[in-house]
């Protein structure tokens, strides 16, 4: 049993694979605060042969990753 996280970027309606990570990944960190069951809990459940919890969002949440400087991004203002 393992985890493969795939991070995608939307570039003008086309998806581009940015990163493949063979582990739980920050792309799924939203699950800690908004998910019914976090990715970390489900990872432990999977490797201990326990039934996984629901992966549905429990509530709405928005987040963004700001890296580098881009004139259209205001990285000083973050919302969760």
Instruction: Report the mean per-residue pLDDT for the chain.
Output: 78
This prediction's pTM? 0.55
**pLDDT band, residue 74 (cuts 50/70/90):** low
Query: Where in the chain are the domains?
Result: 1-80
Q: What residues pair up with 63 in beta bridges, in sequence order?
A: none
Tell me, what's the pLDDT at 53?
92
Q: According to CATH, what is the number of the domain 1-80?
A: 3.30.470.20
Q: What is the pLDDT of residues 22-60, one digit of tens each?
A: 888 776 677 777 888 988 898 899 889 999 999 888 877
Asked if 43 and 29 touch (Cβ cutoff 8 Å), the reply is no
Tell me, what's the pLDDT at 30?
75
Question: Cα–Cα distances in Å, from 49 out to 22, 30, 74, 76?
Answer: 19, 24, 43, 42
Closest listed residue to residue 28, CA positions, set 51, 7, 2:
7
């Amino acid at each position: 049993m393992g985890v493969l996280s795939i991070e995608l970027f939307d570039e003008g309606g086309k998806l581009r694979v940015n990163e493949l990570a063979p582990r739980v990944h920050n792309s799924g960190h939203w699950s800690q605060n908004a998910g019914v069951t976090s990715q970390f809990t489900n990872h432990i459940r999977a490797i201990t042969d326990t039934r996984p919890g629901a992966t549905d969002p429990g509530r709405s949440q928005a987040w963004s990753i700001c890296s580098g400087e881009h004139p259209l991004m205001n990285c000083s203002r973050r919302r969760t």
